[in-house]
Amino acid sequence: MNRLSSLWVESPIALYVGRIPVVQILRGALFMSVLLLVWISLQPFADLGNPTAGDGATGRGTTYALFGFLAVLSLALVTHRHAEALRSFVSTPYILFGCWMCINLVMSRDPSASTQRFVLTLCVFVVAATLLLLPSTARELNRWLGVAVLSFLAVCYFGVMMTPHLAVHQSTDVWEYHLAGDWRGVFDHKNTASAVMVMLIFVGVYLTRSGAALVGPLITVLSVVFLFFAAGKSSTALCLIIFVLTALVSAARTFRVRAVLCYAPLIVLNLMSVGAVLSPALASVASLLPFDASFTGRNEVWRFAFASIAQKPFFGYGYFAFWGSDYVKEIDTGEAIDNWVLIASHSHNGYLDSALALGIPGLLLVISILVIIPLRNYHRAAAYGAPTPLANMFLRVWLFGIYIASLESYFLDRTDPMWFTFLVAVIGLHYLSRFRTTT
């Protein structure tokens, strides 16, 4: 256990112009700007009726430059006060993962593209790691968080009301026109909107329990309403399950019980979905379930992913160097593959995509850092007393993240809003297990 020190303590050095605390204003503006940038992106409200709307080429250079700048600025603002917190990431799991990524980038089928994409991921990690260090107190964190979330929700609702053809799925969409009527807000798909809204519900509940009697309930209600009209069935079901799991995990006292509560349902979910592709016995069990365990035909893409992993199980194909490449169409898996699978952008499973990109060793490291260690950190943080509302918020976001990753691929996905919000929760648990917060 590292020596306990204080996160979110007042800086001993403040720059004032007259009576205006410039550094404090800068930190607050940076905190809220980062969240709004990630959630809204530089290209919100995509026109899905335009066949070229999703090519993502426009603004790519700006995104790299902007997150590089934000990483440098955030480090400059927090390193002096929180060097110990930043040094806490120099640990065996992160070092091993960094070493494996270096190997993976070299062995990638497209080293240049993989390296370029990973540079952005590193910048995003730095921004996420410093984000929670920007507020001086937990009260300041709550205030900034409330403003950022309400601003984001206002943009989403503005889009639905004023430009519904850009914020609601339409029958004229080039792809998935059957989703017509489902809200998507600033995002390009209702699934992303649903997942982010669930995470914001957790934020609203946290703020409510932290004393924000107006802002907290308002965020919760607005997020619930948007989730309902987004019609995200998987996210809605998981939201309810996560509240139950969090209550059970919070009440448990041993790490073993907490691990069983968190991981047993996750393992069952993956066995009944992707596992059914490999095992006829599991497939027969999954067929008896009261819902579609293939989640609208994803078994085809899962089967293709497994066959591709078998071709390169150790090193994988390289960081974000598989889906969407011409190389995919040339893979001989020995099976007849539907054409739509060959043009898929991901496998709808973060664990499968981690194995595809990083190989089996990389997948194990991802599971260690993103699935195993966060629960240990929560357990360590709870050892100081009853779990705090902040710890439980991070736990809910993290739990939802590892479960939704069984249905969506977002692990290590650069500026993806689901990935960034999940990453902040993982980092928050990391900090809470090592440092104390001030009110």
**Is 224 a member of any domain?**
no
Q: Is the pLDDT of residue 255 over 50?
A: yes
**Is 9 a member of any domain?**
no
pLDDT of residue 268: 94
pLDDT of residue 207: 97
- CB burial of 258-285 (b: ≥16 within 10 Å; e: otherwise) equals bbebbeeebeebbbbbbbbbeeeebbee
pLDDT of residue 331: 65
CB atoms within 10 A of CB 384: 13
Question: What are the φ and ψ backbone dihedral angles of 126, each rounded to 5 degrees?
Answer: -60, -45
Residue 304: give the domain boundaries.
97-127+232-439
**pTM to 2 decimal places:** 0.92
Q: Which residues pair with 168 in a beta bridge?
A: 183
Residue 406 CA to its chain's centroid (Å) = 13
**Is 298 a member of any domain?**
yes
**Is 317 a member of any domain?**
yes
Asked if 308 contacts 94 with a C-beta cutoff of 8 angstroms, the reply is no
**Is 182 a member of any domain?**
no
Query: Two tokens at 93?
Result: 């799991």
Q: What is the pLDDT of residues 297-309, one digit of tens each?
A: 678 888 888 988 9
Which residue type, as a one-letter code, is found at position 138? A
**Of residues 61 and 9, more confidently modeled:** 61
Asked if 228 contacts 201 with a C-beta cutoff of 8 angstroms, the reply is no
**Is 156 a member of any domain?**
no
Asked if 47 contacts 91 with a C-beta cutoff of 8 angstroms, the reply is no
Asked if 190 contacts 179 with a C-beta cutoff of 8 angstroms, the reply is yes
pLDDT of residue 358: 97
**Is 29 a member of any domain?**
no
Structure confidence at residue 51 as a pLDDT band (50, 70, 90): confident
Question: What are the φ and ψ backbone dihedral angles of 243, each rounded to 5 degrees?
Answer: -60, -40
Closest CA to 143 of 131, 135, 152: 135
Structure confidence at residue 21 as a pLDDT band (50, 70, 90): confident
Q: Is the pLDDT of residue 426 over 70?
A: yes
Our count of domains for the chain comes to 1
Segment 417-430 mean pLDDT: 98
**Is 57 a member of any domain?**
no
